[in-house]
């Protein structure tokens, strides 16, 4: 999951037909009009803009905002400012009822609540409706009841933003993803998922703009911190949370701190994902003739609190050289992690 940054607004329209971009993107792609979601496929990712999953997150955000639980740093729900003038009286009643149904989700975790994970998978087309728990069926019924309203009034603008984001990232992603995937495997001691990672792109993802669950990525098309070139880092950051990559990293860090005679700091593994994602993105863009990339973390995350003041120098001294080397040697990786752990533990003495 990422950290919050300021947001921007982009207004555009879409045509009645959507398009599917098929085949790996490597600077160009063929486009075939078809009804349905907008899909762009690369060798490693499947980027999608689809209304049902977008509406699910829109209603989650709207209900949280109604309850005063949508943080100030999150992307503001601009639609709430004039929704009564946009919808007729019947649509207002139906929309209010759907938001009220979604009020039951306020305070529940998008990452760990099994009911919300199932509802999310269903909305993405990855789970049969029969697998939704009876207690959460009111959510799916509420979503379906207002899907025509959403598609008519708000989806054209949302979809246009999503498409613009997908089209901005796809050419670079197609060029660098193979090299980056290999580097991430070497860094984490893991393996890239066997099939292309699905990425659901929408205006409102979660409060911080992106998250990963059950092997699917959810990313907001709107925040400034998710635009290119940081958008490239964000998609690989979230991919780092898939089990074949995250779990080996966490195991390796645990072993390194144990060997160094101490305990890993709380959620240090996530800080390593932040730094690794930023550094591998920097290396990939430099190899494409685009030097000077600044990690997403330099926009604010790295300046937050004492822990980053201690961790960042250690990561730069011990972890960056390993990442720069491009080594796939597990022993070299373990030595780098142990040196990193030893420096951090020495600082605690």
Enumerate the domain spans of the chain: 18-220, 242-347
d(CA 180, CA 157): 32
Structure tokens of 133? 């728990």
How confident is the model at residue 349, as a pLDDT?
54
pLDDT digits (tens, 9 = 90+) for 201-230: 999 999 999 999 999 999 999 998 999 999
Q: In whole angstroms, what separates CA 13 from the centre of its chain? A: 24
Secondary structure class of 48 (helix, strand, coil): strand
| Residue bearing the bigger pLDDT, 21 or 147 | 147
d(CA 342, CA 271): 17
pLDDT digits (tens, 9 = 90+) for 127-172: 999 999 999 999 999 999 999 999 999 999 999 999 999 999 999 9
Sheet holding 216-220, edge to edge: 30-34, 18-22, 38-41, 45-49, 197-202, 216-220, 210-213
* Cβ within 8 Å of residue 282, ≥6 positions away: 293, 294, 295
First to last CA, the chain: 31
Q: How would residue 1 be classed by pLDDT, with cut points 50, 70 and 90?
A: low
pLDDT digits (tens, 9 = 90+) for 227-273: 999 999 999 999 999 999 999 999 999 999 999 999 999 999 999 99
pLDDT over 70 (residue 36): no
By DSSP bridging, strand 38-41 and strand 45-49 are antiparallel
CA R_g for the chain: 21
The average pLDDT across 79-105 equals 97
- 67 contacts 103 by C-beta, under 8 angstroms: yes
């Amino acid at each position: 999951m990422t950290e919050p940054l300021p947001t921007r607004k982009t207004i555009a329209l879409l045509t009645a037909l959507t398009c599917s971009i098929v085949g790996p993107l490597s600077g160009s792609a063929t486009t075939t009009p078809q009804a349905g979601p907008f899909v762009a496929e690369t060798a490693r990712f499947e980027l999608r803009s689809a209304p049902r999953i977008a509406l699910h997150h829109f209603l989650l955000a709207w209900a949280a905002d109604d309850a005063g639980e949508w943080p100030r740093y999150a992307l503001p729900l601009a639609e709430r400012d004039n929704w009564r003038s946009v919808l007729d009286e019947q649509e207002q009643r139906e929309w209010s009822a759907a938001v009220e149904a979604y009020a039951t989700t306020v305070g529940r975790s998008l990452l760990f609540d099994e009911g919300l994970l199932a509802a999310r998978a269903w909305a993405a087309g990855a789970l049969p409706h029969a697998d939704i728990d009876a207690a959460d069926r009111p959510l799916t019924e509420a979503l379906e009841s207002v899907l025509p309203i959403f598609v008519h009034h708000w989806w054209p603008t949302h979809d246009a933003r999503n498409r613009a984001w997908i089209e901005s990232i796809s050419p670079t992603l197609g060029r660098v993803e193979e090299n980056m995937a290999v580097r991430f495997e070497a860094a984490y001691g893991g393996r890239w998922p066997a099939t292309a990672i699905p990425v659901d792109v929408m205006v409102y993802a979660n409060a911080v703009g992106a998250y990963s669950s059950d092997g699917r990525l959810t990313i907001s098309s709107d925040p400034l911190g998710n635009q290119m070139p940081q958008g490239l880092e964000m998609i690989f950051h979230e991919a780092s949370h898939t089990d074949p990559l995250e779990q080996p990293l966490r195991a390796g860090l645990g072993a390194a701190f144990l060997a160094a005679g101490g305990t890993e700091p709380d959620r240090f593994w996530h800080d390593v994902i932040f730094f690794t994602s930023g550094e591998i993105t920097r290396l990939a863009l430099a190899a494409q003739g685009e030097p000077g990339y600044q990690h997403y973390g330099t926009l604010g995350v790295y300046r937050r609190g004492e822990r980053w003041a201690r961790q960042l120098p250690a990561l730069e001294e011990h972890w960056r050289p390993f990442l720069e080397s491009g080594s796939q040697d597990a022993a070299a990786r373990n030595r780098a992690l142990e040196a990193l752990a030893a420096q951090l533990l020495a600082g605690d003495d």
